[in-house]
């Protein structure tokens, strides 16, 4: 008899990218050539990043996505599997795997260009073929790097099964057919403004933006970078300052935050408790050299929270 997996189940529908990173002293201006320091690759795509974060923070995670039959896709499958993400719902399609080029300056900020490739092939039919993975999850995680039709199909399956839907509206776009299907909306300061909130510059304005965006979802989380994170729902209002970090490297922090948040919500934590965990997990991520980030998990987060 197979022993049931006791871990919370998280389903992610989203993008998978082969990220080529370029280190540079400063970001180039338009028309400017800058001599870089180094380049390296990492698994990416908001969907893939969030799925790996969820797996590393204790969830049984299934990724619903698409990859090409190429070297990029092969390497991404290897890294997802190594992180503990189920590959059963990843389809191989006749298109190049998604990729991006991100330029990261020494101070930690970055800029990126994304080529969607195989991610454009994720459609309602693929989502329907993976419906059982969504129905049996404790939470469904979506982002806006795949088509609206695929996201809406997944959200409808989740809604029928009583599975809560977390939408990370990045890059920001109108909810469209997702309207009424999202339980928790997560955005950063820029995305909040793009969706109709006033500019976010601190925790107070982040909380105000979350309140404004509750017309889009019953609960809203607005991340405000170094200022912290705020959330508003019908029963909770939370504003948490960011943990102090020396020389932060911010690339991927938002995806780590979403993945960690999804795990805690899947465990049944109240929104405020889940936010505290995700806020600490994000701080550890941005304050740890990239080569050591794969070792960060629940033990490290609880240790940071124990420090107050």
What DSSP string describes 18-68?
EEEEEEESSPPPTT-----SEEEEEEE-HHHHHHHHHHHTT-EEEEEEEEE
Around 152, how many Cα atoms within 13 Å sit in the side-chain half-sphere? 10
pTM of the model: 0.91
Q: What is the dihedral of CA 104, 105, 106, 108, to 10 degrees?
A: -60
φ, ψ for residue 206 (rounded to 5)? -65, -40
Burial 5-28 (b: 16+ CB within 10 A, else e): eebbbbbbbbbbbbbbbbebeeee
CA 76-93-18 angle, 5° bins: 25
Question: Across the 308 residues of the chain, what is the mean pLDDT of every consecutive 10-residue run?
Answer: 81 96 90 93 93 96 97 96 96 95 83 90 96 98 96 98 98 95 97 97 96 98 93 95 74 89 97 95 78 76 83
pLDDT at position 10: 98
3-state secondary structure of 221: strand
Catalytic residue among 202, 255, 269, 294: 255
Phi, psi at residue 183, to the nearest 5°?
-90, -35
Sequence spans of domains, the chain: 13-182+243-306
What is 13-182+243-306's CATH number? 3.40.1190.20
| pLDDT number for residue 204 | 96
List, edge to edge, every strand of the sheet that includes 38-44: 38-44, 17-24, 98-105, 110-115
87-100 b/e (C-beta count within 10 Å ≥ 16 → b): eebbbebebbbbbb
User: In this structure, are residues 251 and 104 in contact, taking their beta carbons and an 8 Å threshold?
Assistant: yes
37 annotated active-site: no
pLDDT, position 59: 96
Closest alpha carbon to 150 in 111, 117, 124, 174: 124
CA distance 266 to 51: 13
């Amino acid at each position: 008899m197979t022993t049931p997996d006791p871990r919370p189940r998280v389903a992610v529908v989203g993008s998978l990218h082969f990220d080529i990173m370029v280190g540079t002293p400063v970001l180039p201006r338009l028309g400017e050539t800058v001599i870089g320091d180094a380049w390296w690759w990492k698994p990416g795509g908001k969907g893939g990043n969030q799925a790996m974060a969820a797996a590393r923070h204790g969830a049984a995670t299934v990724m619903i996505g698409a990859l090409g039959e190429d070297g990029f896709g092969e390497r991404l499958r290897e890294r997802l599997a190594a992180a503990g993400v189920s590959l059963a719902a990843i389809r191989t399609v006749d298109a190049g795997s998604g990729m991006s080029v991100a330029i990261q300056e020494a101070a930690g900020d970055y800029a990126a260009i994304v080529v969607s490739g195989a991610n454009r092939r994720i459609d309602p039919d693929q989502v329907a073929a993976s419906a059982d993975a969504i129905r049996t999850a404790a939470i469904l995680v979506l982002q806006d790097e795949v088509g609206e039709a695929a996201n809406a199909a997944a959200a409808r399956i989740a809604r029928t099964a009583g599975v809560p839907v977390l939408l990370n509206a990045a890059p920001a776009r109108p909810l469209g057919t997702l309207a009424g299907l999202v339980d928790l909306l997560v955005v950063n300061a820029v995305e909040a403004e793009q969706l109709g909130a006033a500019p976010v510059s601190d925790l107070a304005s982040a909380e105000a933006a979350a309140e404004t965006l509750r017309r889009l979802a019953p609960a809203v989380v607005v991340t405000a970078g170094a200022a912290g994170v705020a959330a508003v729902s019908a029963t909770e209002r939370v504003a948490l300052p960011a943990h102090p970090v020396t020389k932060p490297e911010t690339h991927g922090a938002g995806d780590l935050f979403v993945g960690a948040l999804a795990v805690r919500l899947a465990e049944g934590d109240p929104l405020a408790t889940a936010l505290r965990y995700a806020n600490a997990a994000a701080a550890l991520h941005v304050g740890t050299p990239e080569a050591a980030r794969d070792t960060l998990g629940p033990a490290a987060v609880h240790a940071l929270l124990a420090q107050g």
